[in-house]
Structure 1
Amino acid sequence: MRPAITVMAAVVTLLLNTTPALAYPPPGQVAGDTVVHDPTMIRTPFGYVLYSTHGHLEARTSADGVTFTRAGDAFDTPPAWWSTYSAENDPWAPDISHERGKYLMYYAVSSFGSNHSAIGLATSRTGRPGSWTDRGIVYATELGMDHNAIDPNLLVDREGRWWLSFGSYWTGIRMIRLDPRTGLRHEKDRTLYHLATRPDAPYAVEAPDIVERGGYYYLFASYDRCCAGLDSTYKIKVGRSTSPTGPYTGRDGQPMMTGGGTLLLETHGRFVGPGGQSVMRDRGRDVLVYHYYDGDDGGTPKLGLNRLAWDADGWPHVS
């Protein structure tokens, strides 16, 4: 029999790092064309625009952030370099932002199960589908390397420095510094930072998204198995740091470099394997944008939107 104090400590740790599945709210109501993977969304003067994996970066628009209409792709014609990394010209996991008067979109081109991958950059004055100009490759990885150039996310820190986090399996999440003038890799600072991994192969941590709030940087990441329909075990965890380059820790202080991180959202009811997330700042609110697999629709991947609330200790939870 365990001493009472040990049992109590275990219970406290569990409560600090998880939210009971029954307590998770369902995604907010959405309508229209919402079959997506790895969504990223932003509010523009003409309404909301959402981009996602596949096509030439599938696009959807919405006047109200609730009803979405398919609106072509980011690119009408794929850049020539895509075929080097994907025979199907099939890009993944875009990340849209607005900086210095223009829209930027980082995205990955790869093939499933390979780290022969590249992250590209495109820019646009409007963010509209079909308006994007290719700016080339930002970072690439090759077979035999210990990390993977997919799932990019741009962070502009409090000091105005630009960072790109990315990664999947292959030892987890990495980060490089960017040049704000070009959006490409910084010519002088060539450090490859390591933000998150786990001790167990296949080191299933991917899809980073980092936001700054209240003096901390928060790293949201997807853990476990994606893209398997109702067999998906994807879940979202979060850690924080006072520096964009880490170290990031969960609420209990365990480093994300050793598998730590506080559970934010996991399978609950019909909403299977939530992940591929991004965080959108919209009129003073933070919105978690993600996909899940619908248990009532044969595992079809669908758009999930939940508002993020923040507790008194500065930790987020879905609401």
Structure 2
Amino acid sequence: MRLAILLLFILGAPMSRAQDSLQTNIPVHDPVMIRQNGTYYLFATGRGIAMWSSKDMQNWKKEKPVFSAPPGWAMKAVPGFRGHIWAPDISLYNGVYHLYYSISTFGKNRSCIGLATNKTLDPASPDYRWTDHGALIESVPGRDEWNAIDPNLIVDDQQHPWLSFGSFWNGIKVVKLTADARSIAQPQTWFTLASVPRTKPGSDSTAGNGAIEAPFIFKKTDYYYLFASYDYCCRGEKSTYKMRVGRSKTLTGPYLDQTGQPMTQGGGTLLLEGNAEWHGVGHNAVCTFDGADYLVFHGYDAKDKGRSKLRVEPLDWQGDWPALRTR
């Protein structure tokens, strides 16, 4: 009996700690979250696109990847790509789940953004089936001074879909999509939303040091808010990732920080950076559930050799600016 009680205590302890905080221990990079029929679904960078499910945002079940094998078109389009898919973005648009994703290799801008759709996110449903629509946007070295990764779908006040994306080079872009959100609208309409001046430019195919990426646009009351990640991810204990934000009355900008500096000129109000517990934090999404906003992102855990893990934090608003809730 004593042994049984001891085992129950040991097995129950991690669950109790998980329930005390929305910070979880699942290993993810570049997370984004959505809810369907009471279940939260998390998508993240991984082989075939990592997918998790949860009933409470705390206890997560690993689901099968979105793709059981790398998309054939992607293997041909991007030299060196082997099936590790980056930075997915999930949205319910026109009654269908749209999952945008990044095909690339580290530090190069021969990249593509693909799209897969599904009627449901429930793997147990008979309607569960991902349909891949191939490449939506591509960047080519020597032709483009931008990088087609880190997509994020946003719908404007007129219900037109746009896709923001970008990493390093000359920054964050947004382009208008067709009504079905599956291709670029014609004539093409592009804007630059944010950038960091490069003091050490790379070649036409390397990033240089203009470290900005991972845009996420969120509409709140009268403003569009552009969240972006600055400095360096993916270096474990040496990661310096941090999140900054600006706002605009129009989706296409200009986005200004709290001092009035444009994000196209290196501006951006600091939202969260690394500390003694987390070496770096970034690549965020903003989600609203039951009227409450949440910041979803990854952090490099200082207590676990800088491994990347999921974090979910309540997001408040102070004077029309986002602020993390003190807990």
**TM-score (norm: length of structure 2):** 0.86
Are the structure 2 counterparts of residues 251 and 28 from structure 1 closer, same or farther at C-alpha, using a change threshold of 3 Å?
farther
Secondary structure, aligned partner of 1:236: strand
Report the Cα distance in structure 2 between the residues aligned to 1:222 and 1:53, rounded to whole angstroms. Answer: 16
1:222 pairs with 2:229: yes
1:284 pairs with 2:291: yes
Corresponding residue for residue 109 of structure 1: 103
Q: 1:79 aligns with which of 40, 56, 71?
A: 71
Quick check: 2:23–2:313 contact (8 Å CA) kept in 1? no
Secondary structure, aligned partner of 1:82: helix
Q: 2:189 aligns with which of 183, 188, 191?
A: 191
1:47 pairs with 2:39: yes
Q: Deviations over 1:155-177 (max 9, x none)?
A: 01111011100000011101100
Q: Tell which has more relative contact order, 1 or 2 (C-alpha 8 A, sep 6+).
A: 1
Corresponding residue for residue 149 of structure 2: 150
Report the Cα distance in structure 2 between the residues aligned to 1:241 and 1:30, rounded to whole angstroms. Answer: 30
Secondary structure, aligned partner of 1:303: strand
Corresponding residue for residue 95 of structure 1: 89
**Contiguous gaps of at least 5 residues in structure 1:** 1-26
Corresponding residue for residue 203 of structure 2: none
Post-superposition offset of 1:90: 1.6
Are the structure 2 counterparts of residues 65 and 200 from structure 1 closer, same or farther at C-alpha, using a change threshold of 3 Å?
same
Quick check: 2:22–2:58 contact (8 Å CA) kept in 1? yes
Q: How does 1:1-319 map to 2 (within 5 A)?
A: 28-31=21-24, 34-45=26-37, 47-83=39-75, 84-85=77-78, 86-128=80-122, 131-144=129-142, 145-186=144-185, 188-201=186-199, 202-311=209-318, 313-319=319-325
Q: Deviations over 1:121-148 (max 9, x none)?
A: 1101112457311011110001122100
Which amino acid is the alignment partner of residue 137 of structure 1?
A
C-alpha root-mean-square deviation of aligned residues, in Å? 1.5
Report the Cα distance in structure 2 between the residues aligned to 1:113 and 1:182, rounded to whole angstroms. Answer: 28
Post-superposition offset of 1:30: 4.1
Identity between Structure 1 and Structure 2 (%)? 43
Report the Cα distance in structure 2 between the residues aligned to 1:97 and 1:306, rounded to whole angstroms. Answer: 20
Quick check: 2:175–2:184 contact (8 Å CA) kept in 1? yes
Post-superposition offset of 1:108: 0.5
Corresponding residue for residue 5 of structure 1: none
Post-superposition offset of 1:87: 2.7
**Contiguous gaps of at least 5 residues in structure 2:** 1-19, 200-208
Quick check: 1:74–1:128 contact (8 Å CA) kept in 2? no
Post-superposition offset of 1:236: 0.1
Quick check: 1:248–1:255 contact (8 Å CA) kept in 2? yes
Corresponding residue for residue 6 of structure 2: none
Post-superposition offset of 1:282: 1.3
Q: Deviations over 1:65-96 (max 9, x none)?
A: 11111111112232211212243122100000
Secondary structure, aligned partner of 1:305: strand
Report the Cα distance in structure 2 between the residues aligned to 1:168 and 1:160, rounded to whole angstroms. Answer: 26
Count of residue pairs brought into register by the alignment: 290
Quick check: 1:75–1:131 contact (8 Å CA) kept in 2? no
Report the Cα distance in structure 2 between the residues aligned to 1:210 and 1:237, rounded to whole angstroms. Answer: 12
Post-superposition offset of 1:284: 1.1
Which amino acid is the alignment partner of residue 170 of structure 1?
W
Quick check: 1:118–1:139 contact (8 Å CA) kept in 2? yes
Which amino acid is the alignment partner of residue 322 of structure 2?
P
Report the Cα distance in structure 1 between the residues aligned to 2:184 and 2:279, rounded to whole angstroms. Answer: 36
Larger Rg computed on CA atoms: 2
Which amino acid is the alignment partner of residue 194 of structure 2?
A
Report the Cα distance in structure 2 between the residues aligned to 1:207 and 1:28, rounded to whole angstroms. Answer: 25
Report the Cα distance in structure 2 between the residues aligned to 1:180 and 1:308, rounded to whole angstroms. Answer: 31
Post-superposition offset of 1:268: 1.9
